[in-house]
């Protein structure tokens, strides 16, 4: 498998991301393109100007608990509520949130700060995910003519460092069930599902980076992943079979009904 970084200039609201990508690489029909969610949100004009944000009492309270700028905390809470989410816990600089974006069929997304970030955007601004990553992926694929994965960086329980995961994708099946197949010793697999889109997002993130690399996308080539008609959010896991579910209930004082649990 080859992973080819796509280095662009600094992206701004209104930049033509597909054009930028095509000007830097000649795509092959079997390629997959992984694109940073923050890059897409940037060109779509989704950045929030903190000087225009008035923190709510809830944001001020949460900001004190996790040592954040209350205006940034307000941005987090707005995004969280937009995506039917709730706060599960707080830690220094982080509100850990559980989200159920419109159109996501199964499970939820557990992520810091509802996907919001102060890095890789102008001073005084915050940036999150595209408003509709599925539509964003569809539009890119219509121009690039290859499958597209929208990715973001993520943390893992009890592990230091960031990897990446896939928010949405089009053109490949994001998950591949191994249930019922035999292992090396003939034993049947009972629960294993390969997170194909997440694995590809992480592989691409190894060359894209998270700082000043200016590499908002990467090409994955010679991968052996079959194409499909899938287009949508990447499913999560249902609470009843999620081994971590009890660790990430709503934080004290919040209820699922008043925080958008669906």
> Is there a single domain that holds both residue 136 and residue 219?
yes
Q: How far is 111 from 99, CA to CA, in rounded Å?
A: 8
pLDDT reported for residue 62? 95
CA 96 to chain centroid, in Å, comes to 14
Is residue 193's pLDDT more than 80?
A: yes
pLDDT reported for residue 259? 43
Q: Tell me what the pLDDT averaged over the chain comes to.
A: 93
Residue range 134-166, pLDDT digits in tens: 999 999 999 999 999 999 999 888 899 999 999
> Is there a single domain that holds both residue 101 and residue 57?
yes
Q: Which helix (H) or strand (E) segment is 28 a member of?
A: none
- Residue 87 half-sphere exposure toward CB, CA atoms < 13 A: 22
Mean pLDDT for 65-75 is: 96
> Is there a single domain that holds both residue 141 and residue 253?
no
- Strands 2-6 and 193-194 come out as unpaired
Asked, for residue 252, whether it belongs to a domain, the answer is yes
Is residue 258's pLDDT more than 70?
A: no
Mean pLDDT for 66-77 is: 97
> Is there a single domain that holds both residue 69 and residue 190?
no
CA angle 170, 81, 217 (to 5 degrees): 30
> Is there a single domain that holds both residue 136 and residue 113?
no
Return the closest-CA partner of residue 95 out of 106, 78, 107.
Answer: 78
Return the closest-CA partner of residue 141 out of 42, 8, 18.
Answer: 18
The reported pTM is: 0.92
CATH code where residue 110 lies: 3.90.1660.10
Instruction: Look up the domain containing 191 and give its range.
Output: 1-46+130-225
SS3 169: strand
Using CB atoms within 10 A of its CB, is residue 166 exposed (0-12), middle (13-18) or buried (19+)?
buried
How many distinct structural domains can be found in the chain? Answer: 2
């Amino acid at each position: 498998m080859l992973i080819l970084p796509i280095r662009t200039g600094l992206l701004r609201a209104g930049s033509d991301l597909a054009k930028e990508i095509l000007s830097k690489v000649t795509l092959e029909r079997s390629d997959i393109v992984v694109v940073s969610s923050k890059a897409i949100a940037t060109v779509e004009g989704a950045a929030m100007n903190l000087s225009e944000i008035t923190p709510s009492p809830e944001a001020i309270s949460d900001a004190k608990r996790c040592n954040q700028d209350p205006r940034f905390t307000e941005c987090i809470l707005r995004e969280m509520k937009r995506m039917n989410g709730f706060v599960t816990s707080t830690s220094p600089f982080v509100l850990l949130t559980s989200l159920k974006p419109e159109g996501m069929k199964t499970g939820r997304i557990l992520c810091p700060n509802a996907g919001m970030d102060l890095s890789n955007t102008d001073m005084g601004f915050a940036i999150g995910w595209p408003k509709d990553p599925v539509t964003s992926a569809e539009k890119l694929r219509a121009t690039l003519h290859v499958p597209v994965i929208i990715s973001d960086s993520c943390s893992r329980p009890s592990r230091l460092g960031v990897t990446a995961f896939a928010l949405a994708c089009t053109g490949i099946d994001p998950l591949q069930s191994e249930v019922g197949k035999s292992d090396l010793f003939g034993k049947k697999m009972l629960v294993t599902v390969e997170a194909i889109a997440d694995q590809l997002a992480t592989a691409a993130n190894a060359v894209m980076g998270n700082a000043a690399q200016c590499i908002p996308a990467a090409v994955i080539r010679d991968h052996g992943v079959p194409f499909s008609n899938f287009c949508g959010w990447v499913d999560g896991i249902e609470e009843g079979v999620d081994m971590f579910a009890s660790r990430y209930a709503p934080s004290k004082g919040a209820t699922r009904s008043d925080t958008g649990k669906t």
